[in-house]
Amino acid sequence: MVVSASKQKRLAAKAAKATGGSKPTDDTKSLEKTMQQLKLEAIRSTDRSATGVLTSNLQGRDIHIDSYTLSFHGRMLIENAQVELNYGNRYGLLGDNGCGKSTFLRSIAEGDIELPPHMDTYLLSEEAEPTDLDPIEYVVKAARDEYARLEKELEDMLAADDGGDNPLLDGIYERMDQMDASTFEPRAAELLYGLGFDKERMKLPTKSLSGGWRMRVALAQCLFKRPTVLLLEDPTIHLDLQSVVYLEEYLKTYNRILMIVSHSQDFLNTVCTNIVHITPKRRLVYYGGNFDTFVRTKHENEVNQMKAYEKQQDEIAHIKKFIASAGTYSNLVRQAKSKQKIIDKMEADGLIEKVEVERQLKFRFPDTNRLPPPVLSFSDVTFSYDGNTKHALYYEVDAAVDMDSRIALIGPNGTGKSTLLKLMSGDLEPTEGRVQRHTQLKLAKYSQHSNDQLDVNVSPIDYMRSKFSKVSVDIDFWRQQLGRFGLSGNHQTNAIGTLSDGLKSRLVFAEIAQEAPGIILFDEPTNGLAPEAIDGLADAINNFNGGVVLVSHDFRLISQVAKELWLCENKQIVRFTGSIEKYKENLRKQITL
């Protein structure tokens, strides 16, 4: 079914709420971004089509949908598949960038296939609204609304009770007991603290928070509500390493239906009990276990399938050879017909398919001219956003980056990791001290906002040709450049606005590669990337002959590429002695749930 006009009306209502009925705020850019997101969401909704038949028990808490088919912008994403989401399981949704993971989550959340009314569904996709409520009040208000909804649902069920056994009643009682309305405020505060809020930020109205912090409020809200079906898309995207560990510990006890799209293999390993894979053939394949179990089982299945395929093909080839050599001898002709029936039966039963090997993503940043040290150095650098050294984020820092550097910046949010990258790139100037760069150094930077700066109305090919207009080459050159970063076929010629976040990130990587930098600064480069794309990025970083400084909440990427860990704390940079796994274990020991 195509998403109905009622969905568009809800989006229009959101837009009206964002613009009307209240005094203008200073957060104009954020408001404009919100409007753009709503407009894009409306376009995406009207271009999404899904069909299927709900076959699960209407009184139950599992979701079974037969013959599920999903398309987006006329492109088939999932075809004639079985959707099986069982209560108590935590699913990781995997597939290459652009295969339809985000569209699938929206399809389930927005009721393309209508679920029973007692199955409340929540998709984390939008920031908390900018209001006068502080984060605790915002989370508690949503919790009270949910508690009231459950009370009304319970009241309706009891009124309609015919004396029979209603299994749904126990579920409602259980949820209301777990929510415990008398402890809303302290538990909301504890949850927000685990996601990185300090006492000062908890007192701010949500309208004063940045988009990233409002997304954390939205995450806290949905975790607090504990819906029957919780759908999370890149829930770690705005979190620091400490908050990621907290979220892992919280979600690994989620006992309803949880489905996560995440780029982090480490996160999926810790949280998930099952994996759902959207294959290149547009199917949904289910695996028990976490990400590592999925990789191992998938490989074993493919090896066995390939052996069976080759054996069957050899048998068919042998039979066809006999048939071809039978000639006109009557006894051989009878045997040939009998042999042909064997082939016909094989085809009727369905031939074993050849394993379709998924394309390995191998990104590449071109080699650069080696520069002698010092390439990039900090000398007694002090930085404060207001120019007052008493409010310094960094104080008298000495540090150096050279062509062999593989540095990961670690530490809680608010300690200035992204600010340090901006000081390196020259986007910010130190309040005191000096940042020196080699005169021949070319710097490139991927930031969390790089994707937002792309022109969504043009194709990747046209974007690259415009960005590097002085490069006089034919269109095939740009096709090859984009292809090296996993952008091929229609992804090269469709408007950038129709691409997934992961594909947009790959486009930015292709742009950085074309700039041929000597040092690359990465600020959260994994957002939206599929795990195999992150492995491709790790290989590209490891094979790059220039320097790299990385800020990431992806423990696995850090473990793959970092040779040094710089801990940002107490206005200084301290080299952490030990692995990123040791740092994670230290963080886990600090968590109490």
What is the per-residue pLDDT for 216? 95
Measure the CA–CA gap between 150 and 336, rounded to whole angstroms.
70
Which parts of the chain sit beneath pLDDT 50?
1-30, 43
Task: List 436's β-bridge partners, or say none.
Answer: 377
Give CA angle at 537 (127, 562), nearest 5°: 95
Q: Mind giving me the DSSP string for 566-582? A: EEEETTEEEE--S-HHH
What is the per-residue pLDDT for 324? 85
Three state DSSP letters for 471-536:
CCCCHHHHHHHHHCCCCCCHHHHCCHHHCCHHHHHHHHHHHHHHHCCCEEEEECCCCCCCHHHHHH
Measure the CA–CA gap between 551 and 198, rounded to whole angstroms.
21
Tokens of 27: 């957060």
What is the per-residue pLDDT for 449? 82
Q: Of 254, 262, 258, which Cα lies nearest the Cα of 121?
A: 258
Tokens of 498: 């129709």
Give whole-number Cα distances, 133 to 128, 140, 212, in Å. 11, 10, 17
What is the per-residue pLDDT for 162? 61
Measure the CA–CA gap between 127 and 133, rounded to whole angstroms.
14
Give CA angle at 122 (119, 128), nearest 5°: 150
Beta strands in 206-256 (DSSP E): 229-233
What is the per-residue pLDDT for 349? 86
What is the per-residue pLDDT for 331? 75
Task: List 261's β-bridge partners, or say none.
Answer: 233
Please give the single-letter amino acid code of residue 263.
Answer: H
What is the per-residue pLDDT for 41? 54
Is residue 365 within 8 Å of 536, Cβ to Cβ? no
Class of residue 169 by CB neighbours under 10 A (exposed 0-12, middle 13-18, buried 19+): middle
Query: Which distant-in-sequence residues (6+ apart) come within 8 Å of 555 by Cβ?
Result: 241, 244, 264, 266, 580, 581, 584
| Residue whose tokens read 């886990």 | 588
What is the per-residue pLDDT for 118? 83
Measure the CA–CA gap between 466 and 574, rounded to whole angstroms.
42
Pairing of strands 121-124, 229-233: parallel
pTM score: 0.80
Measure the CA–CA gap between 73 and 44, rounded to whole angstroms.
8
What is the per-residue pLDDT for 164? 57
Strand order in the sheet with 274-278: 121-124, 229-233, 257-261, 90-94, 274-278, 284-288
What is the per-residue pLDDT for 38? 54
What is the per-residue pLDDT for 420? 96
Q: Mind giving me the DSSP string for 128-148? A: PP--SS-HHHHHHHHHHHHHH
Strand order in the sheet with 376-383: 394-401, 376-383, 432-437
For 514-565, write each residue's pLDDT tens digit.
Answer: 999 999 999 999 988 888 889 999 999 999 999 999 999 999 999 999 999 9
For 474-526, write each residue's pLDDT tens digit.
Answer: 888 999 999 989 888 889 999 999 888 889 999 999 999 999 999 999 999 99
What is the per-residue pLDDT for 78? 96
